[in-house]
Structure 1
Amino acid sequence: MTRLAARYRTGNLFVAGDAAHLYLPAGGQGMNVGVQDAMNLDWKLAAVLSGKSPDALLDTYEAERRPVGALLARNTQAQGALMTAFNPGHLALRAEMSDLLRIPAVNRRLAGVLSGFDLCYSSSELFGDALGVGERAADHALTLTNEASTSLYRLLAHSKWLHLSHKNGTRGPLPSWLNPQCACCVDAQHAEPNRPDCDVAARLVRPDGYSAGHNRS
């Protein structure tokens, strides 16, 4: 059975997880997507209910998450056809997929879909045209100005937007609609000097761990 709600929000009613979508249970993808639904919605609800963000922020929940549900519906239906049909056509398709999975790029692509780690909100109304918008921010070690060790994900535990300055207090502008009370501004240096993003001078990360853009030095 595959089901996808026509709407994820109607007024003050929101649906997430199994209330929003049902899929083939193999692989636990529906569970992963349901957890992501909740992560996407909870910080937006908190910001609106506390009066720190406008109600329009909640409209981005459906705009961001329903396309993910639709994509997963297609993916799990394809998996079901491969796993449950045994006619010559499906057996040939299964053999073809087995050959394709020997290609590293194809393997990585499907692993990203199955895990949900390849999700990108680049088309979201929450973002402008900044570099790296909508991509999942990878965790990495940081050193604060007092030389204390931390990491990006530890700083996100405050459930606020995270503005990280990596070079001499460089600040990137916060979006005009973002209440400064919702942001945590931190000066921190990369603890791993050989990271590919070490030329990033400042970055802004959403409470759910997705990048809202960065400035390079």
Structure 2
Amino acid sequence: MDASVIVVGAGPAGMMLAGELRLAGVEVVVLERLEKRTGESRGLGFTARTMEIFDQRGILPRFGDVETSDLGHFGGLPIDFSILEGARQAAKSVPQSATETHLEEWATSLGADIRRGHEVLSITDKGEGVTVKVRGPKGEHTLRAPYLVGCDGGRSLVRKAAGFDFPGTPATMEMFLADIKGVELKTRMIGETLPGGMVMVGPLPGGTTRIIVCERGTPPQRREVPPSWHEVADAWKRLTGEDISAAEPVWVSAFGNATRQVTEYRRGRVILAGDAAHIHLPAGGQGMNTSIQDAVNLAWKLAAVVKGTAPETLLDTYHSERHKVGERLLMNTQAQGLLFLSGPEVQPLRDVLSELIKYDDVAKHLTAMVSGLEITYDVGSGSHPLLGKRMPHLELTTARRTTSSTELLHAARGVLLDLDDNPRLRARAAGWSDRVDIVTASTGPLSHASGLAGTTAVLIRPDGYIAWAAPGSNHDLPMALERWFGRPLAD
């Protein structure tokens, strides 16, 4: 085998996956068709949940001083994310190109083998491993690995070659996105509709302006190259009456509203993550964030299976957990598209939803949905309010130092946090100490708002989600440890 895992695609999902696998000590090769990063930035910033993920791996400082904001929208209707108590703010105006750069530098620093200019021609899953035929700078060759993960985008070759079903709805319209310089335009928020369609204008750092143009009734095209700038400028003029043809385009792109999701995230030894598994209308920057979170959910499970510490059935939870998240993503982006891309016939619906958003429960529900903060995994029954949810940031004091629940996750290992100095608890977990860090710590008063009031211990998965808590879980600690981390060392 040439690696333990081959990853196809060096976008945010592929780079996050590569870094996570390397943290777990797994050899990974990343194959990327392009010789260098495009510099394009369809996504801007990242959600509060992704901020937490970057922080739990200690890579948030790589982004420098990140501008944050509580302001967001649902289908163009403004919502205030601060309504969610204790939630982090979302990062704004971080170009996707910067996110890709920082993640690649992080993955490379951990030893990921990233091979640019390597185009995958075919893949074959022979049951005991996957063979990949590749065209690189020195010609064609083959690579083999026990597992292959397709992170190669909406037109995924891996998805097609492995025969994944990809049902959904095709695009019914085409939209243009461009970053431009040399022109001053008034800011137009997403959702500002015009008689013939929708436009958006937002300022970016460095004197750059981002525009989105959508003409209703324009049929989608399957483009092999980006649209020309004059196509974008002409569409803008038809909708707004403004001539921006003299502007300097930094980059231009087109996208549609196709909505599709694979029926299974894994077929044998081939797995999909990110846009390879789900495509949708860009709405609220959810695509890149969901893709990164796909990778974080998958990586520790795949690493455990590759290293032989957990059975292959652990990979089934990647599909069962993330496919549901993808379904919610497709549902809410379709709903948002109806709100900000439809004509005046939808205005009554916008008006009704605007009234409903004024109710806290509605605003909290929509905000949690688009930020990823609503995600709860099935980790077993129980009464503890945080079972299956992410571990909140918690300041901690151990016998040796002060730390936090976030810092304890930097190594991407499981964590058993003993808040009651319970020797019997620690003894019961000792058989998993090669995979799970057992930490005895104290903390200040735990509020009911945090969901941790009265908690004496929590088992945190490497992705930051709580798999077991005491009191409040209906199964015992060894059962939870074996479910998520395999059999103990003694076995």
Common fold: TM-score over 0.5: yes
1:209 pairs with 2:464:
yes
In 2, the alpha carbon distance for the partners of 1:154 and 1:33 equals 23
In 2, the alpha carbon distance for the partners of 1:77 and 1:179 equals 44
The structure with more strand, counted as a fraction of residues: 2
For residues 163-174 of structure 1, the aligned pairs below 5 Å read: 163-169=416-422, 171=425
In 2, the alpha carbon distance for the partners of 1:194 and 1:201 equals 11
1:208 CA displacement? 0.3
In 1, the alpha carbon distance for the partners of 2:413 and 2:421 equals 22
What residue is the counterpart of 2:284 in the other structure? Answer: 27
2:380 aligned counterpart, secondary structure: coil
1:68 pairs with 2:68:
no
Q: Is the 8 A contact 1:53 1:179 kept in 2?
A: no
From 289, 296, 307, give the equivalent of 1:39: 296
From 13, 17, 20, give the equivalent of 2:274: 17
What residue is the counterpart of 2:436 in the other structure? Answer: 183
1:63 CA displacement? 0.9
Q: Is the 8 A contact 1:142 1:149 kept in 2?
A: yes
Larger radius of gyration between Structure 1 and Structure 2? 2
Taking a change above 3 Å as real, the CA distance of residues 8 and 194 of structure 1, as seen in their structure-2 partners, is closer
1:29 CA displacement? 0.9
For residues 47-126 of structure 1, the aligned pairs below 5 Å read: 47-88=304-345, 90-122=346-378
Q: Is the 8 A contact 2:413 2:461 kept in 1?
A: yes
In structure 1, the gaps of 5 or more residues are: none
Q: Is the 8 A contact 2:446 2:454 kept in 1?
A: no
TM-score when normalising by structure 2: 0.41
- 1:112-162 Cα deviation digits (max 9, x unpaired): 11110110003xxxx33243321111111111123x110101101121111
Taking a change above 3 Å as real, the CA distance of residues 81 and 56 of structure 1, as seen in their structure-2 partners, is same
1:5 CA displacement? 1.1
In 2, the alpha carbon distance for the partners of 1:12 and 1:77 equals 31
1:129 pairs with 2:381:
yes
- 1:16-67 Cα deviation digits (max 9, x unpaired): 0010111111211111111110000001111111111111111111111111
In 1, the alpha carbon distance for the partners of 2:344 and 2:442 equals 58
1:155 is matched by which residue type in structure 2?
Answer: L
Q: Is the 8 A contact 1:52 1:181 kept in 2?
A: no
* Aligned-residue RMSD, C-alpha: 1.8
From 434, 445, 457, give the equivalent of 1:193: 445
TM-score when normalising by structure 1: 0.89
In structure 2, the gaps of 5 or more residues are: 1-257, 473-491
In 2, the alpha carbon distance for the partners of 1:137 and 1:194 equals 13
1:77 CA displacement? 0.4
1:151 pairs with 2:407:
no
Q: Is the 8 A contact 2:421 2:441 kept in 1?
A: no
In 2, the alpha carbon distance for the partners of 1:179 and 1:47 equals 12
Percent of matched pairs sharing the same residue: 39
In 2, the alpha carbon distance for the partners of 1:57 and 1:66 equals 15
1:109 CA displacement? 1.1
Q: Is the 8 A contact 1:200 1:214 kept in 2?
A: yes
1:198 CA displacement? 4.0
Aligned length: 207
In 2, the alpha carbon distance for the partners of 1:45 and 1:179 equals 18
2:445 is matched by which residue type in structure 1?
Answer: P
Q: Is the 8 A contact 2:396 2:405 kept in 1?
A: yes
The structure with more helix, counted as a fraction of residues: 1
Q: Is the 8 A contact 1:52 1:179 kept in 2?
A: no
In 1, the alpha carbon distance for the partners of 2:296 and 2:412 equals 11
1:6 CA displacement? 1.7
Q: After the TM superposition, which segments of 4 or more aligned residues of structure 1 sit over 4 Å from their partners?
A: none
2:464 is matched by which residue type in structure 1?
Answer: G
1:144 is matched by which residue type in structure 2?
Answer: T
